[in-house]
Homo-oligomer: A and B are copies of this chain.
Amino acid sequence: MATEIERKFLLANGNWRTKVVTSIKIIQGYLSRDETTVRIRKSGNQAWLTIKGPSQGISRLEYEYAIPPADADQMLMTLCDDQLIEKTRHLVPVDALTWEIDEFHGRHHGLIVAELELPHEHTAFERPDWLGQEVSSDPRYRNSYLASNPFSGNP
């Protein structure tokens, strides 16, 4: 168990692209998208089941377990309502922290969101010039919401 503390931003420009050190493809779906979410995620030949509790500000309880990739494949195909999210996660280190910049594909093409996991709610962090509007508390940018609501352009 861990507490996930995460801030989330839109992107002001594409300057982050030259700073990417790693990019990974992710496909994920949800077994439950209530206040508590149950997510199946697959990346390459690894897979995880992740439970996140209700949001308390920018914090949520999070429990993550590695599961057999074949189980994930089956659950994504049969139990996730065809409402899958596909994205490429780009890792961009800034200072001692690493931004995760998610570029969505398919139904959510055009959506790019930068996320930063913090050790504490009030941890200070550098704001690179490519950082746009903060959307940490905007439920429309939750992946569990996007799963059933195609993206229709940044505001």
Contacts and interface: CB of A to CB of B under 8 A. Distances in A.
Contacts of A26: none
Contacts of A78: 53, 61
Interface string A73-88: 0110011000000000
A34 interface: yes
B49 A75 contact: no
B53 A63 contact: no
Interface string A46-69: 000101010000000101010110
B75 A63 contact: yes
Interface in A19-35: 31-32, 34
A70 interface: yes
Contacts of A71: 1, 63
A67 B70 contact: no
Contact of A34 (B32, B53, B74): B32
Contact of A53 (B32, B53, B68, B79): B79
A38 interface: yes
A58 B63 CA distance: 31
A53 B74 CA distance: 11
Contact of A49 (B36, B49, B68): B49
B31 A79 contact: no
